[in-house]
Amino acid sequence: MTGVPFAILRHAPTAWNESRRLQGMTDIPLSAEGEALAARWRLPAPASGWKRLCSPLQRARRTAELLQPAAPVTIEPRLREMSFGAWEGRTILDLRETVGVVFLDAERRGLDFQPPDGESPRATMARLLDWASEIAAAGEAVVAVSHKAAIRALLALATGWDMTGRQPVKLDWQSLHYFIAHCDGSVTVDRPNVALA
């Protein structure tokens, strides 16, 4: 089955990543360490020559701008992070302790996990499928900077993982992940965990 390749990576770290807080749609900038790390990242071939896209959130935009080799960056709203709604700014540990059974029940729902006023992985997966279908139709390979929950939803889309139990492929969040967008509307994993030089 032929298709169009694309690559995706998570933005560099923020202060909220360091404190393990759910960021979601909260527009947190890169930390000083994140800026320095992103400035050292170099896209490997062939992604180094592909069109560059990113989420509209500043942590992803800044990462895309700092990546080498330098290239123009186009904002793609469908690459935004999954919204964690009322739970943004909280840690998983805090939510398990304070929200208790409500949070634990939500976690067990896998693709249908949905924070209050937030978005489910299934909804995130649907918008990423729409985006990947456009890539397949256009026939142009791209490299994208996005977010952890969004990339996990993409992995679920590509593998059939229902987001319960372990992920079928362990992703390194400081690596590039290659996928294939197919004309039949499917997405497959190509090469995960490719080092950023």
Active site residues: 11, 81
150: CB partners within 8 A, 6+ apart: 55, 79, 80, 81, 82, 124, 128
Nearest to 9 by CA among 98, 109, 142, 136: 142
What's the CA gap between 168 and 177, in Å, rounded? 14
Q: Which of 115, 110, 109, 112 is nearest to 92 (CA)?
A: 115
- Check: CB of residue 89 under 8 Å from CB of residue 22: yes
Beta strands 73-75 and 142-146, pairing class: unpaired
